Amino acid sequence: MVAVSLDHKDLRILEELQRNAKQSIKEIARKIGSPITTVHSKIKKMEKIGIIKNYRAILDANKLGYSTLAFIFVAFSREAGISQRVLAKRISELSEVQEVHIITGDWDILLKVRVRNVEELAEFVVDKLRSIPGVETTLTCVALETETETTYIELRRLL
């Protein structure tokens, strides 16, 4: 995939949005020293070409009762008659799954799963995940603590 060409103002706008996507276009324009119309059109352009995918609130999963975080390695079975990408897509549709990655190495797919407790995790793995055709074996790693969890992309190197 080819990286999109962005100018200095585009990158400054993205930095500001990553810090606080709730701030107004007027406030961003003031911070980066550009007209409001320029900032608005640049944001619209970046939304249109898919650089800005969405705006979301970042929730505290623990405070909402989802205190169990697990990473699950999945081995893909070619005998199921589906592709690895189709399997990854099916897994991504499960509500407990936050991330699905097709990976290299001894395993084929890596999942990030968030549930309320170990019992819910067991139910997810045994009753849901392992019942999907194409899932051969799984290895579950439960996170004991999370030091950092972010979607922030360092853009300063591009400035």
- The structural domains of the chain, ordered by start, are 8-56 (1.10.10.10), 68-142 (3.30.70.920)
Give the closest residue to 120 by CA, choosing from 63, 69, 64. Answer: 69
What's the maximum distance between 2 C-alpha atoms anywhere in the chain? Answer: 58
Cα distance between residue 6 and residue 30, in whole Å: 20
Strand partners, 115: 68
pLDDT digits (tens, 9 = 90+) for 2-61: 678 899 999 999 999 999 999 999 999 999 999 999 999 999 999 999 999 999 999 999
β-bridge mates for residue 102, sequence order: 109
Other residues' Cβ atoms within 10 Å of the Cβ of residue 96? 22
Number of residues that this document lists for the chain: 159
